[in-house]
């Protein structure tokens, strides 16, 4: 019966002559009869032939050949083939941590390390002489400059930040692609500087800003009076923002270039992973020398990072050294509650979190027209995270209405800072916590939550020396009147909310950053159970988790970003603060957002990926590299495609009520 049905189907679908087949054709053939199409006179052989045709052929096992891995063509090679050649000189500005540091003078323990890298490279000295290494990376706690008898300086040249460690690229991929279209050291420059120092101190100690000014002027002249394209990364973005004010300001504080210097010398600024408005993880670094990863290690191996076993005391040493680096304060969130939210709400109020398996589902962006408001994500979360509470003591404090929170007045907190232990029994002080009484430390936790405004008082309380020194160089507010003479002071120059962009209407500014990666936004803290000397009394509560698939994991709240910088910090100035003519951008410099949707590499063969949006890995992103090469080759923003937006940055910006 099955054979009949298959045969009828064949007749229906295929142009086969079926009229010659009789009922007798389906009788069982004799064994001695040959089954062949060459004997049509025998109906038995025809039936057998048809059944044999309809029968599924046995699949042969074909040995799969190993998939050949092909290295994708470099964007520089393709663009060179399309006729792209160097036009504008390019200046690269590294951010915090990624630039190399070398020793020029040191203590006896540093014998044999003259002009050897202490930071960046192989890091072998960490294992050979760790305490000596830490001593030479520290700055003076009073001046923020060199300690007596120690001189550590930035490594010069393109090698300063091409690789952070062997095999781990930072700028190397971009440099190589620029070279493929014809760039070399005569028209490409790495503006290396000592990233530990406050921005003005890089000029006072090393004349880094003066050397950058001279180099740009030289490249401008020697390259046919072509304006420079500047590509700063991370903290280097606000370092260069400081430079824009410094270069036009009169000496001795400024560079004396005059009000038209930027308009004359700079074509475009292509900011990568910009930390314009700071990063919350800088607060966690100051409070407890930890972030998401360190908190996880502490939860998995309690006491490992705190224990004096084997003399580790890792976090204490990290805190002692990093609290001498004034540059860390430049990354503390700026703009207060106006930008980062209050106890009840924040610009990311509609942020949606994802499961570890869920993809960041977004449809393609709307070129030039801003945000893709119809993009849908994987699922909704019942809890409503209050990201404005950047520091909370206890998970339950996150869910309470602000009216039920216990908030200590900042004046009361600062009064407690006056009563500190002058004689500590801990011997050599590991951190400023050792100078605080346990009662004063407990007072910190009596205030249930801290916002971007009140956490500045918290930092002044737990790190008074660092804040006193660094706040002479940095400010974190929003200017009421930018024409007030006080804003001519250099402490305001790196804050985009307290300074004006230069009068350069033909210049273009790009905010290029990754999206689609969970990024630290706020923290749940607890008091440490240890009372011993040299312990850090505050730590992230890694046991704090939100509802299933929520935004709170391991004591850390996450939002959209590039793994280091939240979207609101990276994109707000280009989306709203500087867009069009505003009081922060009086000449109407054009600003554009170029977001890169993160796509993790599909295999180990892809390395760190060519479509990554991660904070450092984006430097190997093919689309980003193409943007830089095209602008350097003379393309305009219109030819680049204008805005490319995947995130909710436009909605977030609308929720920020700021006078423009």
Residues identified as active-site: 234, 562, 615
CB contact set of 544 (below 8 Å; sequence gap of 6+): 395, 524, 552, 554, 555
Give CA separation, 264 vs 220, 221, 261, 384, in Å: 9, 11, 5, 49
CA torsion sign, 102 to 105 to 110 to 112? Answer: positive
Is residue 187 helix, strand or coil? coil
Q: What is the dihedral of CA 225, 227, 233, 238, to 10 degrees?
A: 110
Please name the residue that has the structure tokens 């009840």.
344
* Strand 266-272 with 449-450, pairing: unpaired
Nearest to 655, CA basis, from 330, 280, 387, 272: 387
Structure tokens at 543: 């046991």
Nearest to 92, CA basis, from 20, 190, 17, 160: 190
Please name the residue that has the structure tokens 């010069």.
156
Cβ atoms 528, 590 nearer than 8 A: no
Is residue 608 helix, strand or coil? coil
Please name the residue that has the structure tokens 């010659």.
20
Please name the residue that has the structure tokens 């998401």.
292
Beta partners for residue 517, in sequence order: 561, 562
Structure tokens at 57: 């052929």
CB contact set of 541 (below 8 Å; sequence gap of 6+): 394, 395, 524, 525, 526, 555
Beta partners for residue 344, in sequence order: none
Letter string b/e over residues 298-335, b meaning 16 or more CB atoms within 10 A of that residue's CB: beeeeeebbeeeeeebbbbbbbbbbbbbbbbbbbbbbb
Structure tokens at 108: 């006896």
Give CA separation, 648 vs 44, 140, 377, 496, in Å: 73, 42, 12, 21
Is residue 336 helix, strand or coil? helix
Q: How many residues does the chain have?
A: 660
Bond before 431 cis per omega within 30 degrees: no
């Amino acid at each position: 019966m099955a054979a009949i049905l298959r045969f009828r189907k064949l007749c229906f679908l295929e142009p086969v002559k079926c009229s010659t087949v009789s009922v007798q054709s389906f009788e069982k053939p004799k064994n001695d009869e040959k089954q062949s199409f060459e004997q049509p006179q025998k109906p038995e052989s025809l039936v057998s032939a048809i059944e044999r045709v309809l029968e599924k052929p046995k699949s042969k096992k074909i040995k799969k050949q190993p998939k050949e891995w092909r290295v994708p063509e470099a964007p520089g090679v393709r663009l060179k083939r399309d006729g792209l050649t160097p036009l504008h000189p390019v200046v690269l500005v590294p951010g915090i941590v990624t630039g190399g540091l070398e020793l020029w003078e040191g203590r006896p323990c540093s014998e044999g390390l003259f002009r050897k890298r202490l930071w960046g490279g192989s890091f072998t000295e960490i294992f050979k002489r760790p305490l000596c290494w830490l001593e030479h990376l520290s700055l003076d706690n009073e001046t923020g400059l060199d300690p007596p008898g120690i001189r550590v300086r930035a490594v010069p040249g393109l090698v300063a930040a091409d690789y952070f460690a062997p095999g781990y690229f930072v700028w190397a991929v971009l440099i190589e692609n620029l070279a493929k279209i014809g760039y070399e050291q005569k028209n490409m420059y790495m503006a290396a500087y000592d990233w530990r120092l406050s921005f003005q101190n890089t000029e006072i100690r090393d004349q880094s800003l003066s050397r950058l000014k001279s180099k740009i002027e030289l490249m401008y002249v020697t390259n046919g009076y072509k304006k420079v394209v500047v590509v700063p990364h991370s903290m280097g973005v606000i370092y260069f923002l400081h430079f824009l004010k410094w270069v036009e300001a009169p000496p001795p504080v400024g560079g004396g270039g005059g009000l038209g210097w930027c308009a004359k010398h700079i074509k475009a600024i292509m900011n990568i992973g910009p930390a314009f408005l700071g990063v919350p993880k800088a607060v966690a670094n100051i409070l407890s020398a930890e972030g998401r990863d360190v908190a996880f290690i502490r939860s998995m191996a309690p006491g490992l990072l705190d224990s004096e076993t084997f003399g580790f005391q890792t976090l204490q040493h990290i805190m002692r050294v990093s609290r001498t680096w004034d540059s860390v304060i430049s990354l503390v969130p700026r703009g207060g509650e106006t930008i980062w939210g209050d106890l009840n709400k924040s610009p990311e109020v509609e942020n949606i979190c994802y499961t570890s398996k869920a993809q960041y589902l977004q449809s393609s962006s709307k070129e030039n027209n801003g945000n893709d408001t119809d993009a849908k994500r994987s699922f909704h979360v019942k809890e409503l995270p209050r990201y404005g509470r950047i520091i909370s003591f206890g998970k339950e404090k996150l869910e309470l209405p602000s009216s039920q929170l216990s908030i200590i007045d900042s004046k009361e907190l600062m009064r407690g800072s006056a009563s500190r232990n002058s004689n500590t029994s801990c011997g050599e002080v590991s951190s400023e916590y050792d100078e605080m009484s346990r009662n004063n430390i407990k007072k910190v936790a009596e205030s249930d939550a801290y916002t971007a405004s009140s956490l500045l008082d918290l930092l002044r309380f737990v790190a008074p020396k660092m804040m006193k020194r660094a706040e002479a160089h940095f400010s974190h507010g929003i200017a009421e009147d930018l024409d007030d003479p006080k804003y001519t002071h250099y402490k305001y120059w790196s804050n985009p909310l307290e300074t004006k962009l230069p009068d350069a209407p033909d210049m273009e500014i790009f905010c290029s950053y990754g999206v689609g990666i969970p990024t630290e936004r706020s923290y749940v803290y607890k008091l440490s159970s240890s009372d011993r000397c040299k312990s850090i009394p505050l730590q992230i509560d890694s046991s704090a988790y939100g509802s299933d698939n929520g935004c709170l994991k391991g004591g850390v709240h996450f939002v959209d970003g590039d793994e280091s910088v939240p979207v609101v910090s990276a994109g707000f100035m280009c989306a709203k603060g500087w867009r069009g003519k505003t009081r922060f951008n009086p000449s109407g410099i054009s600003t554009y957002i170029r977001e890169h949707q993160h796509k993790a590499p599909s295999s180990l063969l892809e390395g760190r990926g060519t479509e990554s949006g991660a904070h450092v890995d984006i430097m190997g992103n093919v689309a980003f590299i193409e943007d830089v090469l095209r602008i350097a080759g003379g393309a305009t923003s219109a030819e680049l495609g204008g805005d490319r937006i995947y995130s909710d940055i436009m909605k977030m910006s609308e929720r920020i009520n700021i006078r423009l």
